[in-house]
Chain A
Protein backbone atom coordinates (compact mmCIF):
# COMPACT_ATOMS: atom_id res chain seq x y z
CA UNK A 1 0.00 0.00 0.00
CA UNK A 2 1.15 3.57 -0.75
CA UNK A 3 2.60 5.46 2.22
CA UNK A 4 0.62 8.58 3.14
CA UNK A 5 2.36 11.08 5.38
CA UNK A 6 1.85 14.76 6.22
CA UNK A 7 4.87 16.91 5.34
CA UNK A 8 5.84 20.17 7.07
CA UNK A 9 8.50 22.86 6.70
CA UNK A 10 11.42 22.76 9.17
CA UNK A 11 10.78 26.45 9.89
CA UNK A 12 7.63 26.45 12.06
CA UNK A 13 6.84 30.03 11.03
CA UNK A 14 6.10 28.73 7.54
CA UNK A 15 3.60 26.16 8.74
CA UNK A 16 0.68 28.34 7.68
CA UNK A 17 -1.81 25.48 7.92
CA UNK A 18 -1.09 24.93 11.61
CA UNK A 19 -0.40 28.54 12.63
CA UNK A 20 -3.69 29.77 11.21
CA UNK A 21 -5.61 26.61 12.22
CA UNK A 22 -6.62 25.90 8.64
CA UNK A 23 -8.09 22.56 7.62
CA UNK A 24 -5.23 21.60 5.33
CA UNK A 25 -1.62 20.46 5.62
CA UNK A 26 1.44 22.12 4.05
CA UNK A 27 1.75 19.00 1.94
CA UNK A 28 1.09 15.30 1.79
CA UNK A 29 3.48 12.62 0.65
CA UNK A 30 1.91 9.68 -1.16
CA UNK A 31 4.54 7.15 -2.16
CA UNK A 32 7.30 9.12 -3.87
CA UNK A 33 4.97 12.01 -4.77
CA UNK A 34 4.67 15.21 -2.73
CA UNK A 35 1.44 17.17 -3.15
CA UNK A 36 1.76 20.71 -1.79
CA UNK A 37 -1.08 22.97 -0.73
CA UNK A 38 -1.49 26.24 -2.59
CA UNK A 39 1.09 28.62 -1.12
CA UNK A 40 0.81 32.37 -0.66
CA UNK A 41 3.55 34.85 0.23
CA UNK A 42 4.55 34.37 3.88
CA UNK A 43 7.37 36.05 5.81
CA UNK A 44 9.70 33.26 7.01
CA UNK A 45 10.79 35.37 10.04
CA UNK A 46 7.37 36.31 11.39
CA UNK A 47 4.96 33.83 9.76
CA UNK A 48 2.80 36.78 8.68
CA UNK A 49 1.24 37.07 5.26
CA UNK A 50 3.44 39.33 3.15
CA UNK A 51 1.66 41.24 0.41
CA UNK A 52 3.78 42.93 -2.23
CA UNK A 53 4.18 43.22 -5.95
CA UNK A 54 3.51 40.06 -7.94
CA UNK A 55 7.26 39.67 -8.40
CA UNK A 56 7.90 39.95 -4.64
CA UNK A 57 5.11 37.58 -3.71
CA UNK A 58 6.03 34.93 -6.29
CA UNK A 59 9.71 35.12 -5.26
CA UNK A 60 8.83 34.67 -1.57
CA UNK A 61 6.49 31.76 -2.35
CA UNK A 62 9.11 29.90 -4.38
CA UNK A 63 11.76 30.48 -1.71
CA UNK A 64 9.35 29.05 0.88
CA UNK A 65 8.49 26.17 -1.45
CA UNK A 66 12.22 25.41 -1.79
CA UNK A 67 12.43 25.24 2.00
CA UNK A 68 9.35 23.01 2.32
CA UNK A 69 10.62 20.60 -0.34
CA UNK A 70 14.16 20.51 1.04
CA UNK A 71 12.75 19.87 4.53
CA UNK A 72 11.28 16.68 3.10
CA UNK A 73 13.91 15.11 0.85
CA UNK A 74 12.96 16.86 -2.36
CA UNK A 75 13.89 20.11 -4.15
CA UNK A 76 12.66 22.62 -6.72
CA UNK A 77 14.46 20.56 -9.39
CA UNK A 78 12.07 17.71 -8.59
CA UNK A 79 8.85 19.69 -9.12
CA UNK A 80 6.85 18.10 -11.95
CA UNK A 81 3.78 20.33 -12.07
CA UNK A 82 2.76 23.76 -10.82
CA UNK A 83 -0.61 25.47 -10.85
CA UNK A 84 -0.64 29.23 -10.47
CA UNK A 85 -3.49 31.62 -9.77
CA UNK A 86 -2.71 35.28 -10.45
CA UNK A 87 -4.96 38.25 -9.73
CA UNK A 88 -4.46 39.70 -13.23
CA UNK A 89 -3.21 37.90 -16.33
CA UNK A 90 -1.59 41.15 -17.50
CA UNK A 91 1.16 40.28 -14.98
CA UNK A 92 2.02 37.00 -16.74
CA UNK A 93 5.39 38.32 -18.02
CA UNK A 94 6.39 39.23 -14.45
CA UNK A 95 5.44 35.76 -13.23
CA UNK A 96 7.46 34.24 -16.06
CA UNK A 97 10.59 36.14 -15.03
CA UNK A 98 10.36 34.76 -11.49
CA UNK A 99 9.73 31.21 -12.72
CA UNK A 100 12.68 31.39 -15.11
CA UNK A 101 14.92 32.32 -12.18
CA UNK A 102 13.79 29.48 -9.89
CA UNK A 103 13.42 26.82 -12.60
CA UNK A 104 16.36 27.42 -14.98
CA UNK A 105 16.58 23.81 -16.24
CA UNK A 106 13.90 21.24 -17.08
CA UNK A 107 11.07 23.37 -15.64
CA UNK A 108 7.89 21.68 -14.41
CA UNK A 109 4.67 21.63 -16.42
CA UNK A 110 2.58 24.65 -15.49
CA UNK A 111 -0.95 25.99 -15.56
CA UNK A 112 -1.69 29.67 -15.00
CA UNK A 113 -5.07 31.28 -14.69
CA UNK A 114 -6.45 34.61 -13.53
CA UNK A 115 -8.86 34.72 -10.58
CA UNK A 116 -9.53 36.73 -7.43
CA UNK A 117 -7.51 35.86 -4.34
CA UNK A 118 -8.22 36.50 -0.65
CA UNK A 119 -6.57 39.27 1.42
CA UNK A 120 -5.51 41.27 -1.64
CA UNK A 121 -2.84 38.71 -2.45
CA UNK A 122 -1.58 38.71 -6.01
CA UNK A 123 -0.51 35.12 -6.54
CA UNK A 124 -0.90 31.59 -5.19
CA UNK A 125 1.18 28.60 -6.31
CA UNK A 126 0.46 24.90 -5.90
CA UNK A 127 2.89 22.12 -6.83
CA UNK A 128 3.41 18.40 -7.23
CA UNK A 129 6.97 17.11 -6.78
CA UNK A 130 8.76 13.80 -6.45
CA UNK A 131 11.31 12.76 -3.86
CA UNK A 132 15.02 13.23 -4.58
CA UNK A 133 17.57 16.02 -4.88
Chain B
Protein backbone atom coordinates (compact mmCIF):
# COMPACT_ATOMS: atom_id res chain seq x y z
CA UNK B 1 0.00 0.00 0.00
CA UNK B 2 2.26 2.74 1.29
CA UNK B 3 4.61 4.46 -1.10
CA UNK B 4 8.22 5.08 -0.19
CA UNK B 5 9.62 8.38 0.98
CA UNK B 6 13.21 8.71 -0.26
CA UNK B 7 15.63 11.49 0.66
CA UNK B 8 17.47 12.41 -2.56
CA UNK B 9 21.24 12.29 -2.92
CA UNK B 10 22.93 15.63 -3.44
CA UNK B 11 25.36 16.28 -6.29
CA UNK B 12 27.52 18.56 -4.10
CA UNK B 13 27.86 19.64 -0.49
CA UNK B 14 26.80 23.24 -0.98
CA UNK B 15 23.25 22.11 -1.71
CA UNK B 16 22.95 20.36 1.66
CA UNK B 17 20.99 23.01 3.56
CA UNK B 18 21.04 20.90 6.70
CA UNK B 19 24.85 20.72 6.72
CA UNK B 20 25.57 24.23 5.45
CA UNK B 21 22.94 26.29 7.26
CA UNK B 22 21.83 23.88 10.00
CA UNK B 23 18.27 23.92 8.67
CA UNK B 24 16.15 20.95 9.82
CA UNK B 25 15.08 20.02 6.30
CA UNK B 26 16.02 17.75 3.43
CA UNK B 27 16.91 19.48 0.15
CA UNK B 28 14.73 17.13 -1.88
CA UNK B 29 12.43 14.18 -1.22
CA UNK B 30 11.02 11.71 -3.74
CA UNK B 31 7.70 9.95 -3.23
CA UNK B 32 5.32 8.29 -5.64
CA UNK B 33 7.20 9.43 -8.74
CA UNK B 34 7.32 13.08 -7.70
CA UNK B 35 10.33 15.06 -6.46
CA UNK B 36 9.59 17.72 -3.83
CA UNK B 37 12.40 20.26 -3.46
CA UNK B 38 12.98 22.65 -0.60
CA UNK B 39 12.86 26.25 -1.77
CA UNK B 40 16.10 26.90 -3.63
CA UNK B 41 18.06 30.10 -3.20
CA UNK B 42 21.23 31.32 -4.91
CA UNK B 43 24.13 29.50 -3.27
CA UNK B 44 27.47 28.24 -4.54
CA UNK B 45 26.75 24.52 -5.15
CA UNK B 46 30.18 23.49 -3.86
CA UNK B 47 30.55 25.63 -0.74
CA UNK B 48 26.99 26.71 0.03
CA UNK B 49 28.13 30.32 0.23
CA UNK B 50 25.20 32.63 -0.34
CA UNK B 51 25.41 34.51 -3.64
CA UNK B 52 23.14 37.48 -3.19
CA UNK B 53 22.80 39.40 -6.41
CA UNK B 54 20.22 40.80 -8.71
CA UNK B 55 16.98 38.99 -9.46
CA UNK B 56 18.59 37.97 -12.76
CA UNK B 57 21.78 36.57 -11.23
CA UNK B 58 19.90 34.75 -8.48
CA UNK B 59 17.47 33.13 -10.96
CA UNK B 60 20.38 31.92 -13.13
CA UNK B 61 22.16 30.43 -10.12
CA UNK B 62 19.02 28.76 -8.78
CA UNK B 63 18.18 27.09 -12.10
CA UNK B 64 21.79 25.89 -12.52
CA UNK B 65 21.61 24.33 -9.05
CA UNK B 66 18.19 22.80 -9.73
CA UNK B 67 19.58 21.29 -12.95
CA UNK B 68 22.47 19.75 -10.99
CA UNK B 69 20.14 18.42 -8.30
CA UNK B 70 17.50 17.00 -10.64
CA UNK B 71 19.93 15.50 -13.16
CA UNK B 72 21.92 13.83 -10.36
CA UNK B 73 18.68 12.05 -9.50
CA UNK B 74 17.58 11.01 -12.98
CA UNK B 75 15.21 13.93 -13.61
CA UNK B 76 15.78 17.33 -15.19
CA UNK B 77 14.50 20.87 -15.69
CA UNK B 78 12.23 19.69 -18.52
CA UNK B 79 10.49 17.51 -15.91
CA UNK B 80 9.37 20.42 -13.69
CA UNK B 81 5.67 20.19 -12.87
CA UNK B 82 4.91 23.14 -10.59
CA UNK B 83 6.85 26.16 -9.36
CA UNK B 84 6.10 28.61 -6.57
CA UNK B 85 8.32 31.56 -7.41
CA UNK B 86 8.89 33.88 -4.46
CA UNK B 87 10.05 37.38 -5.18
CA UNK B 88 11.01 40.22 -2.84
CA UNK B 89 9.20 42.83 -4.93
CA UNK B 90 6.52 42.66 -7.59
CA UNK B 91 8.30 45.50 -9.39
CA UNK B 92 10.81 42.96 -10.64
CA UNK B 93 8.21 40.60 -12.10
CA UNK B 94 9.38 41.12 -15.69
CA UNK B 95 13.00 40.75 -14.60
CA UNK B 96 12.11 37.37 -13.07
CA UNK B 97 10.35 36.27 -16.26
CA UNK B 98 13.20 37.21 -18.58
CA UNK B 99 15.73 35.05 -16.78
CA UNK B 100 13.21 32.33 -15.87
CA UNK B 101 11.98 31.65 -19.43
CA UNK B 102 15.48 30.70 -20.60
CA UNK B 103 15.29 27.50 -18.51
CA UNK B 104 11.74 26.34 -19.20
CA UNK B 105 11.02 25.83 -22.92
CA UNK B 106 7.89 23.91 -21.86
CA UNK B 107 6.99 25.94 -18.76
CA UNK B 108 5.65 24.24 -15.65
CA UNK B 109 2.61 25.55 -13.77
CA UNK B 110 3.62 28.56 -11.71
CA UNK B 111 2.48 30.99 -9.07
CA UNK B 112 4.43 34.09 -8.00
CA UNK B 113 4.34 35.41 -4.43
CA UNK B 114 5.77 38.66 -3.04
CA UNK B 115 7.24 37.72 0.30
CA UNK B 116 10.24 38.10 2.56
CA UNK B 117 12.94 35.51 1.82
CA UNK B 118 15.60 34.29 4.23
CA UNK B 119 18.83 36.26 4.56
CA UNK B 120 17.70 38.98 2.19
CA UNK B 121 17.61 36.95 -1.00
CA UNK B 122 15.52 38.40 -3.83
CA UNK B 123 14.22 35.13 -5.26
CA UNK B 124 13.46 31.61 -4.13
CA UNK B 125 11.93 28.81 -6.19
CA UNK B 126 9.91 25.99 -4.63
CA UNK B 127 9.51 23.26 -7.23
CA UNK B 128 7.89 19.88 -7.74
CA UNK B 129 9.29 17.76 -10.56
CA UNK B 130 8.41 14.40 -12.04
CA UNK B 131 11.05 11.74 -11.37
CA UNK B 132 12.76 10.11 -14.36
CA UNK B 133 13.07 11.56 -17.84
Contacts and interface: CB of A to CB of B under 8 A. Distances in A.
B113 A109 contact: no
Interface stretch (A7-15, A38-46, A76-84): A76-84
A96 interface: yes
Interface stretch (A17-25, A48-56, A64-72, A112-120): A112-120
Interface in B63-113: 84, 86, 113
Contacts of B2: 32, 78, 130-133
Contacts of B113: 113, 115
Interface stretch (B19-27, B42-50, B52-60): B19-27
Contacts of A128: 36
Interface string B2-39: 11110100000000001000111111110110001111
A116 to B, nearest CB: 10
A107 B36 CA distance: 12
Given A99-B24, A108-B25, A108-B29, A113 B124 contact: yes
Given A109-B27, A111-B38, A131-B2, 13 more contacts: A31-B32, A83-B126, A100-B24, A103-B24, A108-B25, A109-B38, A110-B25, A110-B39, A112-B39, A113-B117, A131-B1, A131-B3, A133-B2
12 contacts: A32-B1, A32-B32, A96-B22, A107-B24, A109-B26, A110-B24, A110-B26, A112-B39, A115-B115, A115-B116, A130-B3, A131-B1
